[in-house]
Copies of this chain bind each other. A is one copy, B any other.
């Protein structure tokens, strides 16, 4: 099949379960909330080398936040529930509590699973309980004012590693195709792209053929400059650059929506020549997203 004239590979993305919490950060202005969300989402591209996979999810207007101020929600994802708890504590404590005028609310209030995040002890006894909208919160006196925080954050078993490859006739076509895809996915609530600017330049394979101490290494089958030098190149004729989009989301439907929106957007960019996706033959991940089912 094809979309806007771009062939879509008859393959699937293979994806994995991951624990996800959502933090809703409000602040005096949109800009202050966004700054905190970006800091708290940083250094969090892949759990291979980072302590979490994170990203800014969506803007939440004042009418929909507990404290009537504008906010941004972010996702924090980790395969281990225990590590997710650690990351919630550290990322809220180091990056949101420290940011001017912010509050941190549970962004998944309906989730059955709850993770305790007892950061109110930072108040050293001066903290006190306060109802904010319909939420039971703690108010912590700070130098800059008071920080409002909930004590528990919902967690769900979501999906990590939804993905597709944007292949272009040259690097800039593939790059702008990937940017357009990342733009589109930013509009899908509950899904994030955790890599820089939402794009992976260095799609990898598990392990390494040559260096046994490496957990991951370049995926030579998809490196255009190695076409003709490796036996199993997967680079179609006319393709000279590939960027990967990797998506984490709160459930499979959300990841599918994000993949569909991203692929359609990439296909609108002149010079994008082919869309494919990454899998491990279906042996590893319980989630399989057939590209043809996304349209």
B208 x A144 contact (CB < 8 A): no
A204 nearest CB neighbor, chain B only: B122
Q: What would 19 A/B residue contacts be, using CB atoms closer than 8 Å?
A: A43-B43, A45-B95, A50-B90, A70-B183, A96-B196, A99-B196, A100-B178, A101-B175, A125-B209, A126-B229, A141-B225, A142-B223, A143-B165, A143-B224, A143-B243, A144-B243, A168-B172, A172-B269, A173-B271
Q: Is A80 an interface residue when CB atoms closer than 8 A count as contact? A: no
Q: Is A28 an interface residue when CB atoms closer than 8 A count as contact? A: yes
A176 contacts which of B29, B43, B184 (Cβ < 8 Å)? B29
Given A100-B243, A143-B242, 7 more contacts at CB 8 Å? A39-B195, A39-B197, A61-B187, A126-B220, A141-B218, A142-B202, A144-B242
Q: Is A203 an interface residue when CB atoms closer than 8 A count as contact? A: yes
**Copy count, this protein chain:** 4
Which residues of B are found within 8 Å of A165, using beta-carbon distances?
Answer: 143
Which residues of B are found within 8 Å of A48, using beta-carbon distances?
Answer: 94
B171 x A169 contact (CB < 8 A): no
A172 x B141 contact (CB < 8 A): no
Residue ranges of A at the interface with B (Cβ–Cβ < 8 Å): 4, 28-32, 35-36, 38-46, 48-51, 54, 61-62, 67-70, 90-91, 93-102, 121-126, 140-147, 165, 168-180, 183-184, 187, 195-197, 199-204, 208-211, 213-214, 216-220, 222-226, 229-230, 241-244, 261, 264-265, 268-271
